[in-house]
Amino acid sequence: MNSWNTAVDVVKNCLKAGIGEFVVCAGARNAALLEALARAEAAGLVRVWRHFEERSAGFFALGRTMETGKPCAVITTSGTAVAELLPAMIEAHYQARPLVALTADRPAAYRGTGAPQTIEQPGIFDPHAFEGTLAQWPGNGPLHWNVEFEEAFEASEELFTGEVLAEFLPAKEPLNVAALARWLREEHYKGIVVLVGGLEPDEREEVFHFCQDLGAPVVAEATSGLREALQSLAIHDADRVLKSRPPGKILRLGEVPSGRFWRDLEELPQVSVWSACRNGLPGLARTSSVVRGPLDRVIKALGPIELADDALDYLAGAGSRAVKIDELLEIFPDSEPALLRTLSNYAAIGSGLFLGNSMPIREWNLFAQWLRPVPSVRANRGANGIDGQVSTWLGWSAEVSETWAVVGDLTALYDLAAPFVLDQINNSGRVLTVINNGGGKIFERLPRLQSMSPRAIEWMTNPQSADLSGLATLWGMKHLRIRTVDDFDLFEVGEKTLLLEIVPDAKQTACFWAAWDQMQR
């Protein structure tokens, strides 16, 4: 086996498949591949990022696929370095992203021997990634390409002259929207509500006009990029409103919604549910229907849309519900929801926003400002929980200035290695916002927590007292701690990333949620 020739062939095949961006995690086993990439980079054919920690690198590469819509390959050495990519590959599977795990391996004879740096790498990502060659890969989800190398190699003078980066052309699947079109025309009297989850930039204009033409009430997540634009059709406090009076029909467009009502649908079989999304997964265990495809193609294929209107008068009380929410935010200005409302006024001016699981995205959907459209919003909403959130944001926004992320404290602590890449990306106006409420407070909102023992509650909520200014110092970020709404007067951005630590008033937050629960009755 000639490792150098293998490495050159791998890079050339990547170029032919339209893979021109790489994140490298170096090791002895992939050294030949890194040298070949360096030659290709010198020829202006590829873009290469570097990382020392494979888990963060995988999520950074996932973020790059979000931004470009094209493949990004993350390169690891052999052994458990490969296993570190599993969370990002799973997330890419559920997001239908072209993330490529290009993993260097020892020769096959070492497998099953217990030799150093040797594990069973082929199939390690099953069933969440395509296993095979680039020629066989459809490009509409992640790929695992495992390549065997000898450790020693001798490089030739290969300079990749005459090579070009081909266009990435994922396979297009045929659309069959006839059943969905019929469903949309039928039984308007039962009431239809549109739930709009995360959308791709190319999908947003078609979805906006579709919702306007349909005229039905809408619950648009921030990640749709249409939350503010569709305000005239929005149901405020939608989880409570829809649970108390479910519609006859739900149309989900885009990624699975983060709101509680989507989970409530599991227990509401009388509600007819259709989903249209890129990954073709229904997002429910109960019976429902789904059509797979980019929504710009799906909506165009549906043809003219008949007006469905607000058959169940959900929008009649929307204004009063919005006013009540605003009143609570004013009464408790230093509570977590109110500080997030103030924060949203600043973040909306930026060029992009990333929302972390789980509390930030839900609170943003409920309480963020409505006046200024925020069209460029992303999140990881597959299966990864708090894993890799900061890394994904940094990958998505690597070349963009004035971008924001809003994550929880445990999310930030879980991704401590993410800022390693800060010296390789655009940091101008970049703001990493961490809502530091001392642990996993989202679990305190679970009704079943009230019946659990104090020790079990401690395990659920993971209280922490970390000094996040140390995280800023570690990676050369500026730091500002916000405890009251007046502290925002000190906010300013610059050429270095700002770690904006939001520390809500615990008493005001508790009072806010108590009043919120009272309002629900």
The C-alpha angle 261, 266, 268, rounded to 5 degrees, equals 80
Residue where a domain terminates, one of 148, 167, 192: 148
Q: How many other C-beta atoms lie within 10 A of the C-beta of residue 214?
A: 20
Residue where a domain terminates, one of 107, 129, 148: 148
Mean pLDDT by 10 residues, the chain (521 residues): 90 97 95 96 97 98 97 96 97 96 92 88 96 91 94 84 94 92 94 97 97 97 96 93 96 95 96 96 96 96 94 88 92 97 95 90 94 92 84 98 96 96 98 92 73 86 92 97 97 96 96 88 64
User: Over the stretch 427-479, which tens digit does the pLDDT of each residue have?
Assistant: 999 999 999 998 877 777 777 777 888 898 888 888 999 999 999 999 999 99
Question: What is the Cα 317 distance to its own chain's centre?
Answer: 32
Tell me whether residue 37 is in a domain: yes
Does residue 307 share a domain with residue 337?
no
Encoding tokens for residue 275? 């989903």
Domain span holding position 453:
332-520
pLDDT at site 318:
80
Q: In what order do the strands lie in the sheet with 72-76?
A: 47-50, 21-24, 72-76, 99-105, 143-148, 130-131
Place of tokens 């009380």: 317
pLDDT at site 247:
97
Tell me whether residue 56 is in a domain: yes
Query: CATH code at 65?
Result: 3.40.50.970
Whether 92 and 65 have beta carbons less than 8 Å apart is answered as yes
Place of tokens 């103030």: 342
User: CA 268, CA 260: separation in Å to the nearest integer?
Assistant: 13
pLDDT at site 1:
58
Does residue 143 share a domain with residue 57?
yes
Does residue 346 share a domain with residue 262?
no
Does residue 490 share a domain with residue 455?
yes
The set of residues, in sequence order, having a beta carbon less than 8 Å from that of 241 and lying 6+ positions away, is 235, 314, 317, 321
* Phi-psi map region of 461: left, alpha, beta (phi>0 left; psi -120 to 50 alpha): alpha
The C-alpha angle 125, 358, 83, rounded to 5 degrees, equals 20
Does residue 453 share a domain with residue 338?
yes
Tell me whether residue 117 is in a domain: yes
Does residue 350 share a domain with residue 304?
no
pLDDT at site 381:
78
Whether 403 and 352 have beta carbons less than 8 Å apart is answered as yes
User: Over the stretch 497-508, which tens digit does the pLDDT of each residue have?
Assistant: 999 999 999 999
Place of tokens 């997030």: 340
Does residue 299 share a domain with residue 341?
no
pLDDT at site 155:
86
pLDDT at site 430:
98
Tell me whether residue 257 is in a domain: yes
> What is 301-366 written as a DSSP string?
HH-S------TT-GGGGHHHHHHHHHHHHHHSTTSHHHHHHHHHHHHTTSSEEEE-TTHHHHHHHH
Tell me whether residue 161 is in a domain: no
Tell me whether residue 515 is in a domain: yes
Whether 386 and 409 have beta carbons less than 8 Å apart is answered as no
Closest listed residue to residue 418, CA positions, set 474, 370, 352: 474
Does residue 468 share a domain with residue 407?
yes
- Whole-prediction pTM: 0.95
Does residue 183 share a domain with residue 134?
no
pLDDT at site 519:
80
User: Over the stretch 97-140, which tens digit does the pLDDT of each residue have?
Assistant: 999 999 999 998 888 898 888 899 999 999 999 998 899 999 99
Closest listed residue to residue 494, CA positions, set 480, 504, 483, 481: 480
Closest listed residue to residue 13, CA positions, set 42, 61, 45, 43: 45
Residue where a domain terminates, one of 283, 316, 349: 316
In angstroms, how far is the first alpha carbon of the chain from the final one? 71
Does residue 222 share a domain with residue 285?
yes
Cα–Cα distances in Å, from 305 out to 200, 273, 300, 492? Answer: 22, 18, 10, 46
pLDDT at site 137:
96
Q: How many other C-beta atoms lie within 10 A of the C-beta of residue 230?
A: 20
pLDDT at site 139:
96
Does residue 308 share a domain with residue 348?
no
pLDDT at site 520:
67
Tell me whether residue 367 is in a domain: yes
pLDDT at site 521:
64
Does residue 348 share a domain with residue 401?
yes
Number of domains in the chain: 3
Tell me whether residue 155 is in a domain: no
Q: Hey, CA dihedral for 27, 28, 29, 30, is it positive or negative?
A: positive
Question: What pairs with residue 50 in β-bridges?
Answer: 24
Query: CATH code at 251?
Result: 3.40.50.1220
